[in-house]
């Protein structure tokens, strides 16, 4: 496990005591254009296609974000095959609306991603983060049109996130959160209190972020070795963030009210499960995550299999209907 420091270009280097940091290099200027429209004919003919994975092994794909070509401002990536024991970082994020797509290039071939992922890749590519380790991103690294491959990858999803060096929880390009994360990194890590207004604005914004509504985040955070919250170009360790909230709540009544009364702090359940190291049954996890959302209702179950102590024999199968899956689960109890 790497214990590298988080390199934020043109800023103070920070070493986090409770969590090892992400390795990042070089800052490049933000480009002016946000979209490039490819020739439609070429996009139809040359769209990136996934080479088959070895479904009899713990195989995965990893994606590396490459330098942009200033001539066209396209996000360029390279995809390679690997296994779970490789060094990589997992992205945890919200897919977002299905009708808002942008085009990137994977190995010089067009590939469409949704807006929220495109925003992350643009941040990684052109603002402050360029990871030395490759990334595992489900929308890119899984052939979503191949049911057998989806079954294989989702079956080992817990291992994918649990084996990653770090997990990045992408909050989006959120200035208020970025300001709060920056304050934790530059003030709290050096023993200084963060201005209360940053927390008063940031905690409600973070708590209401769509990210926490996802069914998959319970597993992705609970099983991760280390989780970093990323907003815009600012990152902070999740456990460090929670510690900073608790520490500052002793100095500000408003922040204390957030932590003691009423306001839901949606990252707490996963942190509690991590710290207690308690395995629940599938039914217990279904109850705990009953308010979580997913576009495919089958994922309400599949997103919990890697954590539930009584679900090791349940096979992921996207070929069966939701009602049949529900009946299969009910028949177990």
Question: Is the Cβ–Cβ distance between 186 and 244 less than 8 Å?
Answer: no
Whole-number pLDDT of residue 128: 45
Number of C-beta neighbours around residue 67 at 10 A: 11
Confidence of residue 66 (pLDDT cuts 50, 70, 90): confident
Q: What percent of the chain has pLDDT over 70?
A: 79
- Cross-strand bridge partners of residue 77: 65, 106
Per-residue pLDDT tens digits for 12-40: 333 333 454 454 333 334 444 344 445 54
Average pLDDT over residues 265-270: 86
Domain ranges of the chain: 30-278, 280-330
Give me the sign of the Cα torsion angle 103, 105, 106, 108: positive
Residue 6 has pLDDT above 50, yes or no: no
Tokens, residue 264? 């839901």
Give the distance, in angstroms, between the CA of residue 88 and the centroid of all CA atoms in the same chain. Answer: 13
Per-residue pLDDT tens digits for 276-333: 777 899 999 999 999 999 999 999 999 999 999 999 999 999 999 999 999 999 999 8
Per-residue pLDDT tens digits for 139-198: 999 999 999 999 999 999 999 999 999 999 999 999 999 999 998 988 777 777 777 788
Non-local CB neighbours of 261 within 8 Å, separated by 6+ positions: none
Whole-number pLDDT of residue 316: 98
- For the question of whether the overall pTM of this predicted structure is more than 0.75, the answer is yes
Q: Which residue has the higher pLDDT, 143 or 69?
A: 143
Average pLDDT over residues 47-60: 96
Distance, in Å, from the CA atom of 86 to the CA atom of 181, rounded to the nearest integer, reads 29
Distance, in Å, from the CA atom of 210 to the CA atom of 225, rounded to the nearest integer, reads 23
Judged by phi (left if over 0) then psi (alpha if -120 to 50, else beta), residue 277 lies in left
Distance, in Å, from the CA atom of 294 to the CA atom of 306, rounded to the nearest integer, reads 17
* Alpha carbon distances (Å) from 48 to 8, 34, 106, 107, 311: 32, 21, 6, 8, 35
């Amino acid at each position: 496990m790497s214990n590298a420091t988080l390199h934020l270009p043109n800023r103070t280097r920070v070493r986090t005591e409770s969590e090892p940091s992400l390795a990042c290099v070089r800052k490049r200027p933000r480009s002016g254009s946000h979209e490039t429209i490819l020739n439609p004919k070429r996009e139809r003919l040359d769209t990136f296609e996934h080479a088959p994975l070895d479904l009899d092994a713990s195989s995965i794909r990893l994606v590396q974000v490459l330098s942009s070509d200033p001539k066209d401002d396209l996000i360029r990536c390279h995809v390679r095959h690997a296994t779970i024991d490789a060094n990589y970082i997992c992205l945890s994020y919200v897919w977002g609306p299905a009708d808002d797509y942008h085009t990137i290039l994977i190995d010089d071939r067009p590939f469409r991603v949704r807006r929220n992922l495109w925003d992350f890749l643009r941040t990684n590519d052109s603002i402050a983060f360029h990871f030395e380790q490759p990334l595992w991103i489900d929308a890119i690294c899984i052939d979503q049109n191949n049911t057998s491959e989806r079954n294989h990858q989702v079956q080992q999803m817990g291992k994918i996130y649990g084996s990653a060096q770090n997990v990045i929880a992408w909050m989006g390009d959120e200035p208020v959160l970025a300001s709060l994360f920056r304050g934790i990194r530059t003030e709290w890590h050096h023993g200084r209190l963060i201005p209360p207004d940053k927390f008063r604005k940031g905690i409600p914004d973070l708590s209401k972020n769509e990210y926490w509504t996802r069914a998959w985040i319970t597993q992705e955070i609970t099983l991760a070795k280390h989780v970093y919250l990323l907003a815009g170009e600012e990152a902070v360790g999740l456990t460090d963030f929670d510690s900073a909230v608790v520490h500052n709540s002793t100095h500000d009544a408003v922040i204390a009210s957030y932590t003691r009364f009423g306001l839901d702090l949606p990252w707490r359940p996963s942190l509690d499960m991590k710290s207690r190291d308690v395995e629940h049954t599938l039914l217990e996890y279904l109850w705990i995550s009953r308010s979580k959302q997913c576009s495919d209702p089958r994922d309400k179950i599949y997103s919990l299999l890697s954590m539930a102590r009584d679900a090791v024999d349940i096979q992921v199968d996207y070929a069966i209907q939701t009602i049949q899956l529900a009946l299969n689960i009910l028949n177990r109890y």
